Amino acid sequence: MRKAGYIRRMQKEWNFTPIDSELRAKLVKGLNILPVTAQLLINRGLVDIDKALSFLSPKLEDLHDPFLMKDMDKAVERLSTAIMDGETIAIYGDYDVDGTTSTALLCLFLEEVGAAHIIPYIPERMSEGYGLNKTAMETLAGKGVSLIVTVDCGSSNGAEVARAKELGMDVIVTDHHEVGTDKPLPHAFLNPRQSDCGYPFKGLAGVGVAFKLVMALRAHLRDDGHFIDDVPNIKKYLDIVAIGTVADMVPLVDENRVLAGFGLKVLSATIRIGLKALMEITLQSGWSGGVTSDNIAFQIAPRINAAGRVERADTALKLITTTDTKEARELALRLDMENSSRQVIERKILEEALAMVEERLKDGVYEKKVIVLSAKGWHSGVIGIVASRLVERYARPTLLIAIDADGVGKGSARSVRGVDILTGIAAASEHLVRFGGHKAAAGLTVDEAEVEAFKSDYIEYMERNVSDEDLIPKINIECEVSFDELQMDMILELEKLAPFGMGNAKPMLAVSDAEVMSTKVVAKKHLRLTLGKGGVVKDAIAFGKSDMHPLSGKGFIVAFSPYLDRWNGREKVGIRVKEIKALSEDLKGQVSVKI
């Protein structure tokens, strides 16, 4: 039987962005930039000179007024009172990177502005699950908490917020998830996704919403004459904000671009000894060069996330907030070890999930429009990562459910571009205990007895609402170039488009009619290529595509992202190959199964 992953690659659709020569020439002249940079700006909808310039040179002044967010005035008034009166304040966060960084941010800032008693609370993923829970409310009440501030959670916790009120605690919800059917009625509700919130940018991460609260609270305290000496410079917190923003895969546009861009600069010279220790460890495992969004996404975030996935997120929280050098080193090492443990667990679950999918294949193709798998013994903290791996391999929305010994199922879903999985889950929610998330990523809790009924209703809904076109992976070429254009001046100019991520993808360029001169497998799974055209020869790397080896010949179109390759103090142009397509019929038989 042919591997389904190969079948998916065969069916990819190549799209080439049309060129507007007149508009491109206008940007080239007006901004003094290269034609390829101008085209990339056009592709991102930046056709106005001033807007394009703002994108290339973002400023902190571009951040919106935090008081435009609904209930911000109520939130800062209540927090200000709590600080002045010495109340005990609990910061209740989620166990992922966004939630952990949000918790750290508020705890550090409240401590700086004089809050006397702060209790951070991050629920344990396995026993408590996502969001608020009534037992935690009772625990916090027992510790004398009078005000709870949620970060990165709370938008679907109406019952739990009501319980907190019964126990005499006020609640301020700060979140960015879709508002669930169980909408809370807290003292203040900060979430730009609320239908009646007029905040101009809806795409903030949880840590972004928390930072807007910090901005507003600082302004309120300053106007009230709270600061005897200097007003706190909250720019120093942007390293934390950048980590949470990039890790949560929110669109890196508008405010997120400003927060992440400036945050990366702050992170490069961070004052936080815990983050320094963690970056030293990631450097040892192959990280070279400056701090980028990739460093966060693939090096820093997985280690912070491992705390909440495998053990407790408290470890990561302590790492970010510690002021003890020895403790920082110990915590960084522990997170690195937990990340290694997570990788072992992940590989095992992935193997089992792949075997389940292979059993359901017909002629090498998965028949359903969605993949839904469940099993006892899977680790609920890792299945979201495995779901993402299956989406990459099969190009289908994927939902995995881990059922524990008590018969409780925890599910994680990931989607393909353009398919709303949260709506599908909501359509079958009568079988669920709870659910929440985004269009592209969601989570749920379900009793074991309801798993099959939920799967049936969910699949039925998705079969009716997901089209075949939705499942065809798209290779979107932004601009065609030649190999001789790939010089250092181009790479440095393209760097101005960073940070890259959701909503601002790395540029995807292409060279047509190229020659693959040779290929070599490196590290067992990657492919080193030598490419050529018109007498120009370039080295390239294709990660995870060792199955293409051996490959050679002329007449290929190569899709790739250029990058600044830093190694041992040297810099050169790097080419990261994403896809290769044979243009000649004679070559298609050679590579059609592998590409």
CATH code, domain carrying 221: 3.90.1640.30
Residue 319 has pLDDT above 50, yes or no: yes
The CATH number covering residue 564 comes to 2.40.50.460
Mutual orientation of helices 325-359 and 314-321 as an angle, nearest 10°?
140
Average pLDDT, the chain: 91
Q: What distance in Å separates the CA atoms of residue 209 and residue 186, rounded to the nearest whole number?
A: 16
Domain final residue pick, 305, 325, 359? 359
Three-state DSSP state, 472: coil
pLDDT band at 282 (very low <50, low <70, confident <90, very high): confident
For the residues 229-248, what does the mean pLDDT come to? 95
Which residue is listed with tokens 């390239």?
540
Cα atoms found within 13 Å of the Cα of residue 551, Cβ hemisphere only: 33
| Number of domains present in the structure of the chain | 4
Query: pLDDT tens for residues 466-485?
Result: 998 999 888 999 999 999 99
Task: Calculate mean pLDDT across residues 159-185.
Answer: 94
Residue 420: helix, strand or coil by DSSP?
coil
In percent, how much of the chain has pLDDT > 70?
93
Average pLDDT on 230-236 reads 94
Q: What is the pTM of this model?
A: 0.88
526 and 481 in one domain?
Answer: yes
Number of H-type helices and E-type strands within the chain: 21, 20
Average pLDDT over residues 520-539: 93
Residue 307 parent element (H or E)? helix 301-310
Residue 368 DSSP symbol: S
Looking at the structure, tell me whether residues 222 and 77 fall in a common domain.
Answer: yes
User: Looking at the domain assignment, is residue 252 inside a domain?
Assistant: no
**227 and 103 in one domain?**
yes
Are 253 and 204 a contacting pair, CB within 8 Å?
no
Asked if residue 170 is part of any domain, the answer here is: yes
Rounded mean pLDDT of 93-111? 96
Q: Give the integer Cα–Cα distance in Å for 541 and 563.
A: 11
Is residue 534 in some structural domain? Answer: yes
Q: Are residues 85 and 198 in the same domain?
A: yes
- Which CATH number do you get for residue 454? 3.10.310.30
Give the tokens for residue 293: 């969004």
Nearest C-alpha neighbor of 11 from the set 368, 464, 470: 470
Note down the domain range covering 467.
360-471
Which of the four pLDDT bands, split at 50, 70 and 90, describes residue 350? very high
| pLDDT score, position 502 | 86
Last residue of a domain, one of 301, 333, 359: 359
437 and 324, same structural domain? no
Among 442, 471, 500, give the residue marking a domain's end. 471
Q: Is residue 542 part of a domain?
A: yes
The tokens describing 175, both together, are 């979140």
In a shared domain, residues 355 and 371: no
Strand 536-542 with 553-567, pairing: unpaired
Q: What is the dihedral of CA 402, 433, 441, 387, to 10 degrees?
A: 10
Instruction: Please check whether residues 381 and 298 belong to one and the same domain.
Output: no
Asked whether residue 244 is assigned to any structural domain, the reply reads no
How far is residue 269's CA from residue 63's CA, in Å, rounded to a whole number? 22
Domain check: are 420 and 454 in the same one?
Answer: yes
**Same domain as 278, residue 142:** no
Evaluate whether residue 264 is within a structural domain. no
Residue 177 corresponds to which tokens in the numbers above?
């998830």
Answer yes or no: do 73 and 221 share one domain. Answer: yes
> Is residue 249 included in any domain, yes or no?
no
Do 299 and 409 lie in one domain? The reply is no
- Biggest CA-to-CA distance, the chain: 79
DSSP class of residue 18 equals P
92 located within any domain = yes
Average pLDDT over residues 441-451: 94
Burial of 287 (0-12, 13-18, 19+ CB in 10 A): middle
- Nearest CA to 535 among 482, 478, 594, 463? 482
Pair 437, 308 in one domain = no
